[in-house]
Amino acid sequence: MRNATTPTSAWHTWLHFFGRHILILLFLTVALAGMIAVHWYFSPSIGDVQAVARSTQGLSAPIFKEIPARPVQQRLAQSPGPIRIGIIAGHAGFDSGAVCEDGLTEVEVNTVIARLVVENLRARGLAVDLLDEFDERLRGYNATALVSIHADSCVYYNEFATGYKIAASPFTDSTALENCVERVYRQVTELPYHANTITPHMTDYHAFRTIAPGTPAIIIEAGFMYLDRELLTVQADRPARGITNGILCFLEQSQQ
């Protein structure tokens, strides 16, 4: 009888086992080969992996994080910009304005006074623009102050048609400028303030709407061309000094 532990018998047992499970073993072999092939095919070489890791972006992706906007707080108060004054010679470059019987025009009167004001301010080292009535520079004009100089009609109404008047921009607070010029102009010219003839032409003055918001602006009717004629022409330096010193008063106040 044969002993189950003899080598021949063990070999026979294994062969018998393989014979019975040949399909399963074949399947396992094919599956293993397939997995090894897939692994080999899709694995990048070590060199490729190192190259990606060394590249600037590395293996990381950018992270986007929503950060809510916060108000910027200035540590130091903003220093005021350099001073610049705009002076409009009323009607200049446009029309003559009011005209007297003897031919004296408002634009002449305004221009003489405006030029004197500009000279006075420049003599003090200030930057000043002498502007026409509809000067192109008025669009978005940015300045410390804008003063438009006009004069009232040359028609004789009555003995009260004398004096000056001022209207301030309704868009930018121009009260300080208005108050300074009103007070100083009266002191220098000794003219009365003629408030009751302020017209929409003054309060709705075109330049108020054209200039940059934040530029204080006024329009002054420096006097009546009939009764105040001598002051406005022969003594033009007086209204000019009144306007100049009024602007300087405003600058002193706004520097504080």
Q: Per CB under 5 A, does 223 bind Zn ion?
A: no
The distance of closest approach from Cβ of residue 106 to Zn ion in the complex, given in angstroms and rounded to an integer, is 5
Are 223 and 192 in contact, with CB atoms under 8 Å apart?
no
Q: At what angle do helices 237-255 and 106-123 cross, to 10 degrees?
A: 50
Indicate the residue whose CB is closest to Zn ion: 150
Comparing CB distances to Zn ion, the nearer of 219 and 251 is 219
Q: Which residues contact 177 (CB under 8 A, 6 or more apart)?
A: 145, 147, 168, 216, 217, 218, 246, 247, 250
The distance of closest approach from Cβ of residue 252 to Zn ion in the complex, given in angstroms and rounded to an integer, is 29
Contact positions with Zn ion (CB under 5 A) in 31-90:
90
The distance of closest approach from Cβ of residue 118 to Zn ion in the complex, given in angstroms and rounded to an integer, is 18
Phi and psi torsions of 248, nearest 5°: -60, -35
Exposure string over 135-163, b if 16+ CB within 10 A, otherwise e: beebeebebbbbbbbbbbbbeeeeeebbb
Exposure string over 225-240, b if 16+ CB within 10 A, otherwise e: bbbbbebbbeebebbb
> If binding means CB under 5 A, how many residues of this protein chain bind Zn ion?
3
Contact positions with Zn ion (CB under 5 A) in 195-214:
none
The distance of closest approach from Cβ of residue 97 to Zn ion in the complex, given in angstroms and rounded to an integer, is 4
Binding mask 5-34 for Zn ion (x = CB under 5 A): ------------------------------
The distance of closest approach from Cβ of residue 107 to Zn ion in the complex, given in angstroms and rounded to an integer, is 8
**Where does this chain touch Zn ion (CB under 5 A) — which range of 2-10, 91-99, 126-134, 158-166?**
91-99
Binding mask 118-157 for Zn ion (x = CB under 5 A): --------------------------------x-------
CA distance 149 to 252: 21
The distance of closest approach from Cβ of residue 244 to Zn ion in the complex, given in angstroms and rounded to an integer, is 20
Q: Per CB under 5 A, does 97 bind Zn ion?
A: yes
Q: Which residues contact 101 (CB under 8 A, 6 or more apart)?
A: 154
Q: Per CB under 5 A, does 242 bind Zn ion?
A: no
Q: At what angle do helices 22-42 and 7-20 cross, to 10 degrees?
A: 70
Phi-psi region of 109 (alpha: psi -120 to 50; beta: other; left: phi over 0): alpha
**Where does this chain touch Zn ion (CB under 5 A) — which range of 21-29, 54-62, 96-104, 139-147?**
96-104
Instruction: Point out which residues bind Zn ion (CB under 5 A).
Output: 90, 97, 150
